[in-house]
């Protein structure tokens, strides 16, 4: 490819539009994980939770044909898994890393089981209607920006809107201050009469709902179908996005966009060139994510109480 062709490809409005479409589940899952980690709860089971949400959303949509119902069912499913996480990590004070890994394995298996129980073994893959694009009147006609930002589906708009909302809540509200304190110094929060466990349970519940919406996004907005491995490592990338953003919603959005751009680019490259083996293109987004994470993890400071169970009777 010539230099001008490369520049044209990299600046293609459809490539950037696809980037935002692919970034939405990473943003939603990343924000959900960020809320949890800000409260001091580490959840490495995001991948499994998203798999369950994807399966439940697809099956609900297949049986009811209602997009809102499918999204709500997926969020309810991951809310249940989040409560399980909270019970073991907060109430029983189990090792959060172990609980999260168990949740990942359980969720991955449960998603496949649910699909097999409802659909069975079939040669024809069932499909469902996906979310339509919603062009914003007036703004959709703006050159480049209109195509990229203002011709997306509803969940993309929601994901982008949640970033400044969460940033405001974390910094400018008393609830955000308490949430950050729960992840930094839960003992100090407890001394002023705030129930640390209840606050963490609330954060885990909110995070679970957002992760469920991220999982539902995949069959409802991207594929229109379900298959094992539909999440494709996005749960783990969501964890990387949180670290990339240094536990700040705005920078987490930047991390999600970086990975999504690389993912969208590999789709485009697969269409325009055969010189690069497809296996290399498929691994490209993950290689970029790992390289960037290794580079940026140096100096990153997570919440000091992240992953540490809080015992009210303890002197520590």
| 171 within a domain of the structure (yes/no) | yes
Counting as low any pLDDT under 50, the low residues of the chain are: 315-316
Q: What is the pLDDT of residue 6?
A: 64
Q: What is the pLDDT of residue 123?
A: 76
Which H, E and C letters describe 25-92, residue by residue?
A: HHHHHHHHHHHHHHCCCCCCCHHHHHHHHHHHHHHHHHHHCCHHHHHHHHHHHHHHHHHHHHHHHHHC
Structural domain tally of the chain?
A: 1
Which pTM was predicted? 0.93
| 306 within a domain of the structure (yes/no) | no
Strands 134-135 and 151-152: antiparallel
Q: What is the pLDDT of residue 298?
A: 67
| 199 within a domain of the structure (yes/no) | yes
| 313 within a domain of the structure (yes/no) | no
Position of tokens 């959303």?
Answer: 57
Range of the domain at 284: 8-121+133-297
Q: What is the pLDDT of residue 247?
A: 93
| 289 within a domain of the structure (yes/no) | yes
Question: Do residues 186 and 38 lie in contact, with contact meaning Cβ atoms separated by under 8 Å?
Answer: no
Q: Under 8 Å CB-to-CB from 133, ≥6 apart: which residues?
A: 151, 152, 153
| 19 within a domain of the structure (yes/no) | yes
Report the candidate in 2, 49, 71, 6 with the shortest Cα–Cα distance to residue 269.
6
Element housing 142 (H / E): none
| 141 within a domain of the structure (yes/no) | yes
CATH number for position 274: 1.10.3470.10
Q: Under 8 Å CB-to-CB from 130, ≥6 apart: which residues?
A: 153, 220, 221, 222, 223, 224
Q: What is the pLDDT of residue 315?
A: 47
| 293 within a domain of the structure (yes/no) | yes
């Amino acid at each position: 490819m010539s230099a001008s062709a490369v520049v044209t490809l990299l600046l293609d409005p459809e490539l950037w539009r696809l980037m935002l479409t692919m970034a939405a589940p990473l943003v939603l899952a990343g924000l959900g994980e960020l809320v949890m980690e800000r409260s001091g709860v580490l959840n490495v089971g995001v991948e499994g939770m998203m798999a369950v949400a994807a399966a439940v959303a697809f099956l609900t949509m297949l049986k009811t044909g209602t997009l809102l119902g499918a999204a709500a069912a997926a969020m309810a499913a991951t809310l249940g898994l989040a409560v399980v996480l909270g019970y073991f990590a907060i109430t029983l004070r189990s090792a959060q890393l172990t609980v999260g890994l168990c949740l990942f394995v359980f969720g991955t298996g449960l998603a496949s089981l649910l699909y097999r129980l409802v659909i069975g073994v079939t040669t024809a893959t069932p499909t469902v209607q996906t979310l339509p694009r919603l062009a914003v009147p007036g703004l959709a006609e703006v050159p480049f920006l209109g195509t990229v930002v203002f011709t997306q589906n509803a969940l993309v708009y929601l994901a982008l809107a949640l970033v400044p909302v969460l940033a405001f809540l974390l910094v400018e509200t008393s609830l955000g201050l308490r949430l950050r304190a729960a992840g930094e110094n839960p003992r100090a929060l407890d001394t002023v009469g705030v129930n640390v466990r209840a606050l963490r349970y609330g954060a885990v519940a909110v995070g679970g709902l957002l992760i469920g919406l991220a999982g539902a996004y995949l069959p409802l907005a991207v594929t229109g179908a379900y298959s094992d491995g539909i999440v494709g490592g996005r749960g783990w990338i969501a964890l990387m996005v949180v670290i990339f953003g240094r536990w700040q919603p705005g920078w987490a959005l930047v991390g999600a966009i970086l990975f999504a751009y690389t993912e969208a680019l590999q789709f485009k490259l697969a269409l325009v060139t055969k010189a690069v083996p497809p296996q290399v293109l498929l691994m490209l987004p993950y290689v970029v994510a790992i390289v960037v994470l290794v580079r940026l993890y140096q100096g990153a400071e997570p919440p000091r109480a992240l992953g540490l169970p809080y015992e009210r009777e303890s002197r520590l």
